[in-house]
Structure 1
Amino acid sequence: MTSMIEFPWQQEAIIIHSQRILNSFQHWLGYSLLDVTGSPLEVAQALFAAPFVLASHGTEENPIFNYGNRKALEQWEMFWDEFTRTPSRKTAEAVEQEERNRLLADAGTKGFSYFSGVRITSTGKRFQIEDGILWNLLDEQNQYCGQAAVYSKCEFI
């Protein structure tokens, strides 16, 4: 395997995870994250190529990213294999951790939460996110399996 996986949406686990992301968003927010039809593979490809930043992490004690679409990988300046080994807390500076923890807990209780905040790329560039949405991911048995976040508005500071 190379250091850069160009087509992660073709992996069976990512195809399934893409459906979880979309289904969970619809469940909590009542509308579709992405208007797309087609086979599960085509849907996974469209989500990966979507015009917004989308990332998710698992349920580990120190959650690790398990998905980032192309825009997320570009935003955090990482390849897929590096991104999917990164603890999600590493994208927020220490001064932002308390607010990030509050946001994660709020979404954990309500199912989703709106957010804004400063995050940091893998090379130390800071950016301000506006109008983000964080939501709980549910598996096919409706069991909690992580959280995802999406945003379109951000500015480097």
Structure 2
Amino acid sequence: MSLEKQLNLLKQIDNCFLALNGKKLPSPLGVLDRYLWLHEKAPYSILAQGGEEDPYFIYANNYALSCFKYSLDEILSLPAKLSAAEENRPKRKLLFDKVAREGIVYNYNGDRVDKYQNTFRINDTIVWQLEENDGEVWGQGALFWSKEKERPRLVYRI
């Protein structure tokens, strides 16, 4: 997937976040290309999966790739459920069921696995529906922090 397509998809993910949250994904003021910053330099993960019954990842920023230890091509060919160990998949499914009912879910914490089956924790996760203007769901977006308390100064832009 070209960088241009990734940034366009990220813009759609951000617009869905704004529609449900009232704020855009956090970024510092003064960034010249906000979407390039979110894609390449954000200190938190941004992921999205498609809206199919058994979805694959459709987007991952650089931070998410570093957490999961996959290349972009690898993660885009990965069924999203494989981001959690088998014993954690029921909890992950409950999260996405709740997102389907409520549109957005805040403060989820859980364990995920990387390419090598090493477990890592996701913190303060926000998961939201990716919807067209007519309400048709085309996926889910997620933002998570890999460090429990450390947060840089970022502002929410509208």
Q: Mark yes or no: TM-score above 0.5.
A: yes
Q: Deviations over 1:79-137 (max 9, x none)?
A: 11011010110011111111111100101111111211011001111011121110011
Deviation at 1:57, TM superposition (A): 0.5
Higher mean displacement: 14-23 or 93-102: 14-23
Instruction: Tell me the equivalent position of 2:151.
Output: none
Instruction: Tell me the equivalent position of 1:88.
Output: 80
Deviation at 1:47, TM superposition (A): 1.7
Compare relative contact order (CA 8 Å, sep 6+) and give the higher one, 1 or 2: 2
TM-score (norm 2): 0.82
Instruction: Tell me the equivalent position of 1:148.
Output: 141
Instruction: Tell me the equivalent position of 2:153.
Output: none
Instruction: Tell me the equivalent position of 2:105.
Output: 113
SS at match of 1:86: coil
Separation in 1, partners of 2:73, 2:10: 17
Higher mean displacement: 146-155 or 89-98: 146-155
| Contact 2:31–2:37 under 8 Å retained in 1 | no
Instruction: Tell me the equivalent position of 2:36.
Output: 45
Instruction: Tell me the equivalent position of 2:128.
Output: 135
SS at match of 2:109: strand
Deviation at 1:153, TM superposition (A): 3.6
Structure 2, unaligned stretches of length 5 or more? 149-158
Q: Note closer, same or farther for the CA distance 1:145–1:37 as it changes in structure 2 (3 Å cut).
A: farther
Matching of residue 103 in structure 1 with residue 95 in structure 2? yes
Q: Note closer, same or farther for the CA distance 1:75–1:153 as it changes in structure 2 (3 Å cut).
A: closer
Amino acid of the structure 2 residue aligned with 1:47 = L
| Contact 1:127–1:154 under 8 Å retained in 2 | no
- Structure 1 vs Structure 2: percent identity of aligned residues? 26
RMSD: 2.1
Higher mean displacement: 78-87 or 45-54: 45-54
Separation in 1, partners of 2:92, 2:60: 18
Instruction: Tell me the equivalent position of 1:61.
Output: 53
Deviation at 1:50, TM superposition (A): 1.3
Q: Deviations over 1:35-75 (max 9, x none)?
A: 47889xx3431220211111110012210001000000010
